Amino acid sequence: MKLIRTTRSLCPEDLRVLEAEIWEIDGKVIMRKTCPEHGDYEDVVWSDYAEYERAYRYLDFGKPVLHPTPSKLGCPLDCGICSQHMSHTTLLIIDVTNRCNLRCPVCFSAAQADEYIYEPTKEQIRAILEYTQEVNHPVRVKGVQHSGGEPTVRDDLLDIIAMERELGYDYTLLATNGIRFAEDIEYFKKFCNLNVYLYLQFDGVTPEPYIQMRGRDLWPLKRKLIEDARKIGFNKIVMVPTLARGVNDHQVGDMIRFAADNSDVIKHLVFQPTSFTGRIELTDLKERRITVSDVMQLAEEQTGGQIKKSDFFALSMNNVMAKMITKHSETTVDAAVHPHCGVITMVSVQKGKLLPIPRYIKNDQFYDAMKKALATHKSRGRLMLSLVAGFLRYVSPRLWIKLLPILLAKNYKSYRYMTEEWLPSNWLTVSTMHFQDAYNFDVDRVKHCCLHYGVPDKNGKARLIPFCPMNIIHRPAIEKEFSTPRKKRAARRADAAQPAAVSGGSS
């Protein structure tokens, strides 16, 4: 038992900021905190201390935004983004509506709110898109994710995507339950050539998880969407299972195999352990909590060791490589996510077997050499020489032919192309991203967040808010400030549907 570090967290009852401690206890990483009014709280942060420490060695610091909001109340209450933040925006997230065609018990955004509609206008969305580029300059934000609610309930979604391309955003992630795509293949076809990735809710390979988590059996619909994607040539699907213990955690291996069997259209698999909102008994919390290291262990157990815990690496590890490849180019990359936010691996699917790519790379030595080169060399030429030398020394020759073209990338667009589109169709990334709740909230993670919600602001511009504080603290106030009462919206639509009145009298 030892104290690892101190941080700040939140009281799950009233969200006041508390001092917190991170401890190693019996091989687990535990957060402890005390609220003077509501008492003591304890939660498992990572279930494997060794993996927690292995991830932390990849801690990296990114570039802050250009014009941060002054910090008055302290993190995480000054989100704007405030001057304490340590990372720029890698992915901009915009909730384009809170309307939804499902009522999921696990929804962290409380979609389908009964009292009001939160649906930014296209003018407000344009202001968010422009503001994000302005405050992140000279780093250019290339990706935007539409979330909600269910984005496809908006009839102007394609117009919004066109506006993003106009403003220099290169690709779009569409967080969707897939219902509209599966039910309307003509609608699906419209997204084929727009560089849109379907960030597809996908909770299992049997009906039961969907019935428990989504309120209906969506398994046939998910299979139809995959089949239709193959039929129309759409190959940008990201499978996103929300993991809940006792519901679908026993299907981690099955979901990996399903993604591998369909890797011609499914490129990424992102496990998201459930975040707990509202009040929960602490004994229930301990039983139901799934951590990043739990997902790694489940993957190893349920794939029979084809994917092992040692094959996963902190998401932040990729940042050094990205910075080297794009340094001195038109648009640099600096995705310095906190190493405890999630882990990732890449696998090659060959004859039904999963072959993790990290086994062909001496990752730690390669990382250390590239980090030293990035800190030492100023010119792009010297960096490229170091990168080639690193490949020759630390990467198996079996991978050289596949990975060498990445060395020649000259900007972020070509880097993303090489890593997401050029790679063989039988390659798949498997990752997990654990979003925080009030029980395990860690301000240190928040300060490194590079997934930023864009929201309207009173000044006619916008604000940027890191992912976890948005969903835990700021969402209700923002949505109510920029929303329309449901009854008022319905009356407005009814008036718009009426024929215009004709004025004048009889003669």
Range of the domain at 38: 2-52
pLDDT band for 502, please (50, 70, 90 cuts). Answer: very low
Q: Is the pLDDT of residue 412 over 50?
A: no
Q: What is the mean pLDDT of residues 55-75?
A: 86
pLDDT band for 505, please (50, 70, 90 cuts). Answer: very low
Q: What is the DSSP letter of 419?
A: I
Please name the amino acid found at residue 446: V
Question: Can you give the C-alpha Rg of the chain in angstroms?
Answer: 23
Each residue of 191-219: pLDDT tens digit? 999 999 999 999 999 999 999 999 899 99
Number of domains in the chain: 2
Q: Is the pLDDT of residue 492 over 70?
A: no
Within-domain flag for 369? yes
More confident residue, 496 or 26: 26
Neighbours of 44 (CB within 10 A): 19
pLDDT band for 498, please (50, 70, 90 cuts). Answer: very low
Each residue of 252-281: pLDDT tens digit? 999 999 999 999 999 999 999 998 876 667
Within-domain flag for 147? no
Neighbours of 303 (CB within 10 A): 22
How far is it, in rounded angstroms, from Cα 399 to Cα 214?
41
Q: Name the domain boundary from 29, 52, 75.
A: 52
Q: What is the mean pLDDT of residues 151-171?
A: 97
Whether the Cβ atoms of residue 101 and residue 183 lie closer than 8 Å to each other: no
Please name the amino acid found at residue 496: A
Q: What is the mean pLDDT of residues 492-496?
A: 45
Q: Name the domain boundary from 409, 429, 449.
A: 429
Phi, psi of 187 (to 5 degrees): -65, -40
Within-domain flag for 319? yes
Q: Is the pLDDT of residue 315 over 80?
A: yes
More confident residue, 425 or 370: 370
Within-domain flag for 374? yes
% pLDDT > 90, the chain: 66
pLDDT band for 495, please (50, 70, 90 cuts). Answer: very low
Please name the amino acid found at residue 199: Y
Each residue of 435-448: pLDDT tens digit? 999 999 999 999 99
Q: Is the pLDDT of residue 407 over 80?
A: no
The beta strand positions in 129-209, using DSSP E, are 143-147, 171-176, 196-201
Q: Is the pLDDT of residue 486 over 90?
A: no
Task: Return all residues near 185 (Cβ < 8 A) that are at least 6 apart.
Answer: 228, 231, 232
pLDDT value of position 61:
82
In terms of Cβ atoms closer than 10 Å to its own Cβ (0-12, 13-18, 19+), residue 355 is middle
pLDDT value of position 351:
82
pLDDT value of position 126:
97
Stretch among 20-34, 159-173, 231-245, 474-488 having the lowest mean pLDDT: 474-488
Whether the Cβ atoms of residue 94 and residue 109 lie closer than 8 Å to each other: no
How far is it, in rounded angstroms, from Cα 198 to Cα 469?
25
Within-domain flag for 98? no
Q: Name the domain boundary from 404, 429, 454.
A: 429
Arithmetic mean of pLDDT over the chain: 87
Q: What is the DSSP letter of 452?
A: E
Q: In the chain, what are the helix, strand and coil shares in percent, each to the nearest 5? A: 40, 20, 40
pLDDT band for 417, please (50, 70, 90 cuts). Answer: very low
Q: What is the mean pLDDT of residues 423-429?
A: 76
